[in-house]
Chains A and B, each alone.
Chain A
Amino acid sequence: MATAALETHDTHGAHPPTSTGLNSTKVAIWTFIGSECFFFASLISTYLIYRGRSVVGPFPHEAWTDPATGHVFKAILNIPVTSVSTFVLLMSSLAMVLAHSAVVRGDRKSSKIWLASTAILGATFLGFQAYEFTSFVHEGLTIHTNLFGSSFFILTGFHGAHVTAGVIWLLTLLFIDMKRGLEPRDAINVDVCALYWHFVDVVWIAIFTLVYLIK
């Protein structure tokens, strides 16, 4: 009896012996990511269904003259700026991989550097998004303006919220790393965070392509 008990539970730190050998948190985060795919798919579909259905401007890719005031709204999306922020976010995934590898190796110095880099790159992306949102509002596009405004801000806003959660998660890991140091046995926690981070990145690739690049 005692042996069985030990087999099941005396497993702090190491991978718990599960039926599949996979870590349970990792299985859970994969199911979570599956669920999130449907979440973002619904948001992106709504955006695509509502393309070109807005009754009034401003529009994403073409200029619009307000018939009442004669005011000309230029095309809203600024693709060069967003390309830069997309690059920043993609680079953060690279930093994330390096952070995970450093924790696996037990390289405490590199792990701190790369965790911090990932968080900073993520925060930079959020900075770009904040700039983008403010300039759009300035140009006359809010969530109230038209269908494009509603579906654009909610889609990219939810993505931004996911990035924010990821940055907080990364900062938490960094804080733990600085306080007591992340050991190789903690690698699973970094791994799970990395899976989430890469997923958020991949979602952005879909959003960038479908919302920004395709006219």
Chain B
Amino acid sequence: MATTVSLPAHAASAPKKYESGLWSWLATTDHKRIGQLYLYTSLTWFIVGGIEALLIRTQLYGPNGRIVSAQTYNELFTMHGTTMIFLVIMPLSAAFFNYLIPLQIGARDVAFPRLNAFSYWVFLFGGLFINVSWLFHAAPNAGWFGYAPLTTPTYSPGLNIDFWVIGLQILGVSSLAAGFNFITTVINMRAPGMHFMRMPVFTWMAFITQFMIVLAFPIITVAVTFLMLDRFFGTNFYEITAGADPLLWQHLFWLFGHPEVYILILPAFGLVSEVLPVFSRKPLFGYPVMVYSGILIAFLGFGVWAHHMFAVGMGPIADSFFSITTMLIAIPTGVKIFNWLGTMWGGSLRFTTAMKYAIALVAFFTIGGISGVMHASPPSDLQQTDSYFIVAHFHYVLFGGSMMGLFAGLYFYYPKITGRIMSERLGSWHFWLTAIGMTLTFFPMHFLGLDGMPRRISTYDAGQGWEFNNHLATVGAFMIAVGLLFMIYNWFHSMKAGEIAGNDPWGGATLEWMIPSPPPDYNFATIPTVTSRYPLWDRKSPKLTTDVPHGAAAEQEVDVTLGGKNAGRLKTPADTQLNAPTAHPSANELGIVMPTPTVKPLIAAFALGSVFIGLIMHKNLPIMFLAAAIFVLTLYSWLLTPLEPEHH
């Protein structure tokens, strides 16, 4: 039955190949490694999506741009949107879910480590699948929301939409599997004392996001399945001549698509809610309200979808309903903005790069939120829809919101992941180039939209008053790109030359800062018992530490090793887990049983993907059946093998 190599019973004494090198990554079930895989993969796609954006902006720099053809332009904006949403913001958030949720709730791993690896490999496969279309000169070209009937075989023959529809299907599997896993992890893997209302806000927002994923993705799965069946098997779901409703796709898509918007922003809200308190030296203002407003956003997020469809003419009752719910959702969002301001108010602020990005989210997201409320009103939306005003709006919330939050998270958690701190000087360059570049790019788009420039046009004529604002937007886009080069350089340079981070470089409050950076594979040598929302701040409070010198936990100097090399000495509070080699025993020495590394999730993911490869190769049945058989056999072999080595 087993189609894969059988693994030794003792993970702890597993061969060296599982400890480092390529094999250790292919067979990993460690949430921290999987988190890093998500991180580097999504940053790679970010560069790809960024290049697509630069090509778009170069084309639109002046009137009658001739850099790319109209056909290529369609492919560029479709792939830019699809890439940034499904291959960058979602998986970059997933990188943080993976890395942080177990650390923040005091667990050694997620509930289903192998399913977690499976999610990643399926995601990798899906991303490659969509992008391989470039090599066939058949990149998707119907916009990121792929409206049917435009995407039906009648109007979109060729492989372009096939790649898109199958790619989304594959990515959906990844998100759903991860969703079940993280919900179970948060419900069941919390350390003693980690009540729901003591969980860090990032974990809370991630938890809420998973519920949205688990409930919204089945809807897009159905929409995409219908389209796939129409394209490959000749059903009539979107076939207007057969009487199909042209709005069916739009309803199904936006029933998913609007929750998706919150799936993209809530994790960034969570990250910012971790960064702001630490650099304000104050607990988060209104923690319970922050949590409840997150839940309310998720709930209302399922009832606003048709505000994307005001222009199709749904009638005054539907328009009014969705207009009101859309305006309602601004309330919990506004509550969050004021809570962040309240957190900073009167705090002793430290303007690190992470803090600057967190503040940038608050500022830019507010602008994007306000333009969002503007087109919550149908009459005003009818003026703005499909114009650059909309492009300005959603880039303010997605780039100015989600990406700023994710950048804040990257600078904030880089020390935990690598053991070193990123250069603040280079980080500052990155921040200012990004913040100014983003304003130059997207702010003028509001005026372009109000001046009547439609979105998704490959070029425009001179003399319409659009030149100046388009010049600004293109210059801004290149500034963002230069800023990103600073970050990439900073990232790799700091890995060698950055300041040693120690357990807790920022004075953090939550459990992840209690353990070494980077954490050992088992995370916590002893599972901590949690007594408050800010366990680490409690330990350092004067009341708890009156009998230790310096008014804080006693400090000691320890040797720090990074990547097997001695990297210097560092002062550390005596009660935290140490980074020194002697204090960094293996899981085996501590008697901690860790999951056995396995490549079965990888094989299962690629077998599942190969079923779809067979489908796109004109329904090549031998390939599809062979891949499906390998998938099922691998699944059996995986499920019948215990997660951890047997006890003897």
Q: Mark A5-26, 1 if CB is under 8 A from B, else 0.
A: 1111110100000111010100
B527 touches A38 (CB 8 A): no
Q: Which of A134-169 contact B (CB under 8 A)?
A: 143-144, 146-147, 149-151, 154
Q: How far is the CA of A20 from the CA of B221 in the complex (A)?
A: 31
Which of A29-37, A60-68, A85-93 is the interface stretch?
A29-37
From B181, B234, B237, B644, contact of A28 by CB (8 A): B181
Question: Chain A residues with Cβ under 8 A from B176's Cβ?
Answer: 35
A24 touches B188 (CB 8 A): yes
Q: Which of B176-193 contact A (CB under 8 A)?
A: 176, 179-181, 183-184, 187-190
A20 touches B187 (CB 8 A): yes
Q: Which of B216-247 contact A (CB under 8 A)?
A: 216-219, 221-223, 225-226, 229, 233-237, 241-245
Q: Mark B180-219, 1 if CB is under 8 A from A, else 0.
A: 1101100111100010000000000000000000111111
Told that A24-B189, A31-B183, A146-B242 touch, could you supply 16 new A-B pairs with CB distance under 8 A?
A5-B591, A24-B112, A28-B183, A34-B215, A35-B215, A42-B218, A42-B219, A46-B248, A50-B244, A143-B234, A143-B235, A147-B236, A147-B243, A150-B229, A150-B237, A150-B242
Q: How many residues of B contact A (CB 8 A)?
A: 51
- The chain B residue with its CB closest to the CB of A8 is B527
B216 CB to nearest A CB, Å: 8
Q: How far is the CA of A176 from the CA of B286 in the complex (A)?
A: 53
Interface: A214 (CB within 8 A): no
Most chain B CB inside 10 Å of its own CB: which residue of A5, A12, A32, A54: A5
Q: How far is the CA of A108 from the CA of B98 in the complex (A)?
A: 41
Question: Chain B residues with Cβ under 8 A from A4's Cβ?
Answer: 526-527
Q: How far is the CA of A1 from the CA of B179 in the complex (A)?
A: 31
- The chain B residue with its CB closest to the CB of A157 is B229
- The chain B residue with its CB closest to the CB of A153 is B235
Question: Chain A residues with Cβ under 8 A from B591's Cβ?
Answer: 1-2, 5-6
B235 touches A54 (CB 8 A): no
From A2, A7, A22, A146, contact of B188 by CB (8 A): A22
Interface: B525 (CB within 8 A): yes
B593 touches A5 (CB 8 A): yes
Q: Mark A116-138, 1 if CB is under 8 A from B, else 0.
A: 00000000000000000000000
Name 11 interchain pairs, CB-CB below 8 A, sorted by A: A12-B646, A24-B112, A24-B189, A27-B188, A35-B176, A35-B180, A42-B218, A42-B255, A50-B243, A53-B245, A55-B241
Q: Which of A42-57 contact B (CB under 8 A)?
A: 42-43, 46, 49-50, 53-55
- The chain B residue with its CB closest to the CB of A21 is B188
**A50 touching B245 in the complex, CB below 8 Å, given contacts A1-B525, A24-B112, A28-B180:** yes
Q: How far is the CA of A24 from the CA of B107 in the complex (A)?
A: 14
Q: How far is the CA of A195 from the CA of B248 in the complex (A)?
A: 32
Which residues of chain A have a CB within 8 Å of any CB of chain B? 1-2, 4-10, 12, 18-20, 22, 24, 27-28, 31-32, 34-36, 38-39, 42-43, 46, 49-50, 53-55, 143-144, 146-147, 149-151, 154, 172
Q: Mark B312-331, 1 if CB is under 8 A from A, else 0.
A: 00000000000000000000
**A154 touching B229 in the complex, CB below 8 Å, given contacts A20-B188, A144-B234, A144-B236:** yes
- The chain B residue with its CB closest to the CB of A54 is B243
A147 touches B248 (CB 8 A): no
From A2, A22, A46, A172, contact of B237 by CB (8 A): A46
Q: How far is the CA of A143 from the CA of B156 in the complex (A)?
A: 21
**A35 touching B222 in the complex, CB below 8 Å, given contacts A9-B592, A10-B647, A55-B243:** no
Interface: B590 (CB within 8 A): yes
A5 CB to nearest B CB, Å: 5
A54 touches B642 (CB 8 A): no
A146 touches B236 (CB 8 A): yes
Q: How far is the CA of A147 from the CA of B246 in the complex (A)?
A: 13
